[in-house]
């Protein structure tokens, strides 16, 4: 059996990378939503960070990135 031509292999890998990027983006959104629930539950980003053993800047950055993405994604409609 002949191996797949290199162009086909690249196309397949590009499709896989696109799927993985989409999955990673969706996962980051769900994680940020959970972090926001943690902030609502514990009171502050610093409290969530302490509870998770992470830096508060990492938690804050994840939340801000999500909120920024959400704000820009909800502004346009197709109607």
Do 29 and 71 touch, CB atoms closer than 8 A? no
pLDDT higher for 74 or 34?
34
pLDDT at residue number 74: 55
| pTM (2 d.p.) | 0.80
pLDDT at 46 (0 to 100): 98
Mean pLDDT of 54-79: 84
Query: Between the CA of residue 29 and those of 8, 34, 60, what are the distances in Å?
Result: 32, 9, 13
Radius of gyration (Cα) for the chain, nearest Å? 19
Residue boundaries of the structural domains of the chain: 27-72
Q: What is the pLDDT of residue 2?
A: 86
């Amino acid at each position: 059996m002949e191996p797949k031509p290199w162009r086909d292999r690249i196309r397949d890998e590009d499709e896989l990378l696109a799927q993985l990027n989409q999955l990673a983006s969706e996962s980051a959104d769900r994680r940020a939503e959970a972090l926001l629930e943690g902030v609502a539950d514990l009171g502050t980003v610093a409290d969530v960070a302490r509870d998770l053993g992470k830096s508060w800047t990492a938690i804050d950055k994840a939340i801000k990135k999500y909120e920024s993405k959400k704000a820009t994604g909800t502004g346009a409609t197709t109607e």
